[in-house]
């Protein structure tokens, strides 16, 4: 269904506004993230929220103007004084007064003819700008606005201030916004009447007017009715999009799998431990999905070390009972190889064929793996995104498992179902995600949570010390290594940097080799996959006692004998990252320790982060605390593909509105799944305006 014609004026190019030429249009296209070769439409500038306001309302005369603040004054122009001949660096000065005092207006490199026209001697002008002092005299340098006294009403008394990029001015953005506001049609209301009434919200158009032409700085406060209405609109559009995608993906006919329990039983018998209650509960959720006729689209959340890989294996074994194959996709070759090493012995014990497929394999190994997949001899393929490249043929692919969701956004989830791979989909994350972010980014998926750690997992003792205690740390580490312990040492940088005074991984490895000799290994993201794997293998085999690394080891690296984690300059890492890194130890039967070394002085935020990590090992609690400490920010590691960041909502402040929007979107789609009612039609306008039309082709009646 094409975009409603009533919205067309808002999708005109910013070039349609007088004064916006190619240069500004190019800047705006880049700033508003327009597709390659396209201009930004007016609607994108209209939905660009001011970050604050300048109050230009007139409050007393020169004597009341406080240096360092913006003042709007009615001034009598007394005299012009240009710079002396031969001294062009001196300012051009204009002397003025009002009934309360005197003030100088200064311009550097000012053009005399233009200034005499704009500020003619003997006349009054309204001048607005920041007041400073020079030589005991109040002055305004390069005023923001100058108007005749009869033009006072053209001056924005409360001027919105927009986030900008280099080359874009506030005036230019506001000019485009004013033009865009004229194009906003009277749109039918998409918010449920009771929700609108209980919150005293204005209409969409009135809310935009109030935010872009505020009568008072308070109109721009996050909890003002105009701002909260717009934040809710954005959440509602996002939730509708995800729910429509979810209903599309699950409504697509899946295959009701015939599960015998034979292979999953063999996997469970081969385990050296008993699964936790939450692992079995998550597998029950998956079995229910697999045996229904709807396609599975499920997110499996598990804290570090909660045992997601076992749940994934049980799901793949269940598929194999029905004769179908599974693809297990990891974000890196290092992790794919590790998953394969973990799964292969269990698969062999259960009689399930498994192959590893990565981009760096030798030709013979790859050829054999491809042949086993094509013939159906292998039921499980473990690899990176290379699993879905041309030339990889499955006999009967029934399940795709994606490890580490934050590299895998909405577009990728849709692509997997679009390309004829109408497979069941299980996405796994080791990043505990707060409920608000689950709704924001994974509202299209059902969710299972692993909340227990497998039996035998040891608690981790966490301590916080300044980097200055390095010598004490080394002495203690040497004693532990002599007893046979292994340690990770994580640094924030790969190599020395002029801008940052933190110790780099390369420097730290060199320092540690002075004490521990050749038993110190180094891995970082700039190394080749084989080089990294060789070092990891040496650490795994116990040949290396200390592994110095950057955050390349953050996700999924499993060395059960490593019991010490030292994180240098821990104040430079986010909470979720610190939690992930700490989770690399405590994976064996011995008690483990994590030491957070920090630089000084510590900011309050950094101290709060380190205190949180020290006080709890619960990843879900840490994730909620992270959201409180820094807002949504970039909590999921990268911006979600297909779900742009918020422009109208401030997730840390408008969090409560997300729950309302989720419930309202669900209720609307239950009553009107095809969005064919008058309100459904209004909602389609919202989806187009907020650029969530990704979902519109998926809307089907019934």
The model's pLDDT over 126-140, given as tens digits with 9 standing for 90+, comes to 999 999 999 889 999
What rounded mean pLDDT belongs to the chain? 86
Domain(s) labelled CATH 2.40.50.140 in the chain stretch across 57-155
Give the SS3 label for residue 106: strand
Instruction: Kindly tell me if the per-residue pLDDT of 154 is higher than 90.
Output: no
Chain segment 473-493, per-residue pLDDT in tens: 999 999 999 999 999 999 887
Cα–Cα distance measured from residue 697 to residue 699, given in angstroms and rounded to the nearest whole number: 6
Assigned superfamily of 460-616: P-loop containing nucleotide triphosphate hydrolases (3.40.50.300)
CATH topology of domain 262-450: Rossmann fold (3.40.50)
Q: How far is CA 360 from CA 165, 334, 414, in A?
A: 41, 11, 27
User: Which residue in 259, 283, 28, 328 sits closest to 166, CA to CA?
Assistant: 28
Residue 364 makes CB contacts below 8 A (sequence gap 6+) with: none
Within the chain, which residue ranges are assigned CATH 3.40.50.300? 262-450, 460-616
CATH entry, 57-155, from 3.40.50.460, 3.40.50.300, 3.40.50.620, 2.40.50.140: 2.40.50.140
pTM for this predicted structure? 0.62
- Buried-exposed string 626-649: b where 16+ CB fall within 10 A, e elsewhere: bbebbebeebbbeebebbeebebb
Which of 243-247, 423-427, 611-615, 661-665 is least confident?
243-247
pLDDT at 439: 72
> What does DSSP assign to residue 571?
G
Is the pLDDT at 599 greater than 60? The verdict is: yes
Q: Dihedrals φ, ψ of 371, to 5°?
A: -65, -40
Q: What is the pLDDT of residues 373-416, one digit of tens each?
A: 999 999 999 998 778 777 888 999 999 898 864 455 666 666 55
């Amino acid at each position: 269904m094409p975009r409603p014609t009533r919205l067309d004026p808002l999708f005109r190019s910013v070039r349609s506004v007088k004064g916006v030429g190619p240069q500004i249009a190019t800047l705006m296209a880049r700033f508003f993230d327009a597709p390659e070769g396209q201009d930004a439409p007016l609607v994108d500038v209209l939905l660009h929220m001011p970050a604050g306001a300048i109050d230009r309302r007139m409050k007393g005369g020169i004597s009341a103007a406080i240096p360092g603040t913006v003042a709007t004054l009615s001034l009598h122009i007394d005299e012009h004084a240009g710079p002396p001949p031969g001294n062009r660096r001196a300012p051009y000065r204009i002397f003025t007064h009002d009934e309360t005092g005197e003030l100088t207006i200064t311009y550097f490199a000012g053009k005399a003819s233009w200034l005499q026209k704009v500020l003619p001697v003997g006349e009054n002008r309204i001048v607005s700008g920041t007041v400073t002092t020079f030589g005991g005299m109040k002055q305004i340098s390069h005023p923001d606005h100058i108007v005749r006294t009869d033009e006072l009403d053209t001056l924005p008394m409360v001027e919105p201030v927009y986030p900008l990029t280099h080359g874009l001015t506030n005036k230019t953005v506001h000019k485009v916004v004013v033009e865009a506001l004229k194009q906003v049609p009277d749109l039918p209301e998409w918010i449920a009447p009771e929700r609108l009434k209980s919150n005293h919200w204005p209409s969409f158009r009135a809310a935009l007017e109030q935010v872009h032409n505020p009568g008072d700085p308070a109109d721009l406060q996050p909890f003002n009715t105009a701002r909260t209405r717009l934040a809710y609109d954005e959440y509602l559009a996002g939730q509708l999009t995800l729910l429509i995608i979810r209903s599309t993906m699950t409504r697509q006919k899946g295959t009701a799998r015939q599960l015998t329990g034979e292979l999953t039983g063999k996997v469970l018998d081969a385990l050296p431990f008993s699964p936790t209650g939450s692992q079995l509960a998550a597998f029950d959720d998956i079995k229910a999905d697999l045996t229904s006729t709807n396609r599975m689209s499920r997110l499996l959340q598990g804290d570090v070390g909660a045992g997601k890989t076992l749940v994934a294996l049980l799901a793949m074994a269940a598929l194999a009972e029905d004769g179908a194959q599974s693809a297990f996709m990891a974000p890196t070759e290092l992790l794919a190889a590790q998953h394969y090493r973990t799964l292969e012995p269990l698969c062999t014990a259960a009689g399930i064929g498994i192959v590893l497929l990565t981009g760096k394999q030798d030709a013979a190994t790859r050829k054999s793996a491809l042949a086993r997949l094509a013939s159906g001899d292998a039921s499980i393929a473990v690899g990176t995104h290379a699993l879905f490249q041309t030339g990889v043929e499955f006999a009967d692919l029934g399940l795709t498992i994606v490890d580490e969701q934050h590299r895998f956004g909405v577009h990728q989830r849709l692509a997997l179902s679009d390309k004829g791979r109408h497979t069941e989909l299980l996405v796994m994350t080791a990043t505990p995600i707060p409920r608000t972010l689950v709704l924001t980014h994974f509202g299209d998926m059902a969710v299972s949570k692993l909340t227990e750690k497998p039996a035998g997992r040891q608690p981790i003792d966490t301590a916080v010390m300044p980097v200055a205690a390095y010598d004490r740390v080394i002495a203690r580490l040497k004693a532990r290594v002599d007893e046979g312990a292994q340690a990770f040492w994580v640094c924030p940088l790969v190599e020395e940097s002029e801008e940052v005074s933190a110790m780099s991984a390369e420097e730290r490895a060199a320092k540690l080799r002075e004490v521990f000799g050749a038993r110190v290994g180094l891995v970082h993201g700039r190394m080749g996959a084989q080089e990294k794997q060789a070092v990891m293998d040496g650490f795994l085999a116990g040949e290396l006692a200390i592994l110095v690394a950057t955050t390349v080891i953050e996700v999924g690296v499993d060395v059960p004998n490593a019991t010490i984690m030292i994180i240098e300059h821990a104040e430079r890492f986010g909470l979720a990252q610190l939690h992930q890194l700490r989770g690399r130890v405590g994976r064996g039967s011995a008690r483990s320790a994590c030491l957070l070394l920090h630089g000084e002085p510590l900011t309050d935020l950094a101290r709060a982060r380190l205190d949180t990590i020290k006080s709890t090992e619960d990843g879900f609690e840490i994730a909620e605390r992270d959201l409180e400490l820094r807002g949504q920010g970039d909590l999921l590691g990268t911006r979600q593909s297909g779900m742009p960041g918020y422009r109208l909502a401030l997730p840390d402040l408008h969090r409560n509105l997300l729950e309302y929007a989720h419930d309202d979107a669900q209720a609307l789609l239950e009553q009107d799944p095809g969005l064919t009612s008058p309100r459904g039609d209004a909602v389609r306008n919202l989806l187009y305006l907020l650029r969530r039309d990704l979902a519109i082709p998926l809307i089907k009646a019934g």
